[in-house]
Amino acid sequence: MSVQPTSPDIRRPVSELEAQLFKALGHPARIRILELLTDGERTVGDLQPLVGIESSHLSQQLGVLRRAGLVTSRREGSSARYALRDPLVADLLAVTRQLLLASLHHTRDLLADLGAQR
């Protein structure tokens, strides 16, 4: 299964759909939620202390992720359980982390070079 917005408009350029996906990823709480869901399903009650935001705000962020097609939810009794819609989301997070680490290493090396020139 591939990651797609819940109702893609096939007349829109792919770049617009990609931008919409990245916009959904543009909040630290949403990234943290996705990172936590890479370990499996969780409820709002499970996520709330780990994400560190109020339950109502957490529910709003989960709604953004659900509308973007990044997470799914299913009812279990009186609560909803959330999960990644596609394992590719975990891959995207891993690649993003690798890219960030590479950038930080490059910056560290530049700083070391500048320090050595003194």
Q: Quick one: pLDDT at residue 21?
A: 92
Q: Give the model confidence (pLDDT) of 8-36 as tens digits.
A: 566 888 899 899 999 999 999 999 999 99
Q: What pTM, to 2 d.p., does this model score?
A: 0.78
Which of these CATH numbers, 3.40.50.11540, 1.25.40.10, 3.20.20.140, 1.10.10.10, describes 14-116?
Answer: 1.10.10.10
Q: What six digits make up the tokens of 62?
A: 């989960």
- Show Cβ contacts of residue 59 under 8 Å, excluding neighbours closer than 6 positions: 44
Residue 74 bridge partners (DSSP): 81
Rg (CA), the chain: 18
Residue in the block written with tokens 């007349």: 11
- The domain locations on the chain are 14-116
> What mean pLDDT is reported for the chain?
89
Q: Which of 39, 35, 29 is nearest to 93 (CA)?
A: 35
